[in-house]
Amino acid sequence: AQRVTQPEKLLSVFKGAPVELKCNYSYSGSPELFWYVQYSRQRLQLLLRHISRESIKGFTADLNKGETSFHLKKPFAQEEDSAMYYCALKITSGSRLTFGEGTQLTVNP
Amino acid sequence: GAGVSQSPSNKVTEKGKDVELRCDPISGHTALYWYRQSLGQGLEFLIYFQGNSAPDKSGLPSDRFSAERTGGSVSTLTIQRTQQEDSAVYLCASSLGWDRDAFFGQGTRLTVV
């Protein structure tokens, strides 16, 4: 069965510092990987997906199949980036998302 | 409506009582999902509906949990004989199809006392 691991439950950085949220997965096929974000008192929303290879709000994530990782990165963190971040996986032709346990990011002024 | 709507937003119930949670998906979305968000557990898949196909119930944790989707739109998640371990935030999501992005509701926070 597929699995998503986010090793850090809490991550704290200062404004302007680089930030990396780690995500590792286990799945024998070719999955789709996503990052979802939940700001305080807001609903869970899609941040980015690996197939789009896009940068959203300054965040990027590269799928590394050799290391089975999909780390989320931003070169200069902002206070408004403080939120809970979830890495998620969808298997080929699958419908459900398998989520990691989430990382609470706090960006300090 | 503009997004997925869930009701109630908060529910406190006594152990052993039954509860019903409602989800109104985005109009036109054929796929509907229920997830559970427990403290320290991440998001756990419960059930998935796609059009008129049989639902994927493989994530339901016990036979006390059931869900239905009437007319391909509104869905109700029912938990019978609630237990304290059922306390969690129940999230509903919908999408245009199984391969399309899912949009989440605000969730229902269930507390069993």
For position A33, which CATH number holds? 2.60.40.10
Predicted confidence (pLDDT) per residue in A57-85, tens digit: 999 998 998 999 999 999 999 999 999 99
CA distance A88 to chain B (A): 9
Specify the fold of B21-98: Immunoglobulin-like (2.60.40)
A95, pLDDT greater than 80 = no
The reply to whether residue A43 touches residue B40, judged by beta carbons under 8 angstroms, is no
* Closest CB to B91 among A44, A46, A102: A44
| Separation of alpha carbons A96 and A109, rounded Å | 37
Q: What is the pLDDT of residue A31?
A: 87
Query: Taking a C-beta distance cutoff of 8 angstroms, is the pair A35, A59 a contact?
Result: yes
What total of structural domains would you count in chain A?
1
Amino acid identity, position B75: S
Q: Is the pLDDT of residue A94 over 70?
A: no
Instruction: Render B53-102 in DSSP notation, one character per residue.
Output: SPPB-TT--STTEEEEEGGGS-EEEEE-S--GGG-EEEEEEEESSTTS--
Q: How confident is the model at residue A92 (pLDDT cuts 50, 70, 90)?
A: low
* Residues in B 53-112 with any Cβ partner in A closer than 8 A: 56, 59, 91, 98-99, 101-107
**Within-domain flag for A1:** yes
Alpha-carbon dihedral A103, A48, A81, B26, rounded to 10 degrees: -90
Query: Has residue A39 been placed in a domain?
Result: yes
CA distance B2 to chain A (A): 13
Residue at B72: amino acid letter: G
Domain boundaries, chain B: 21-98
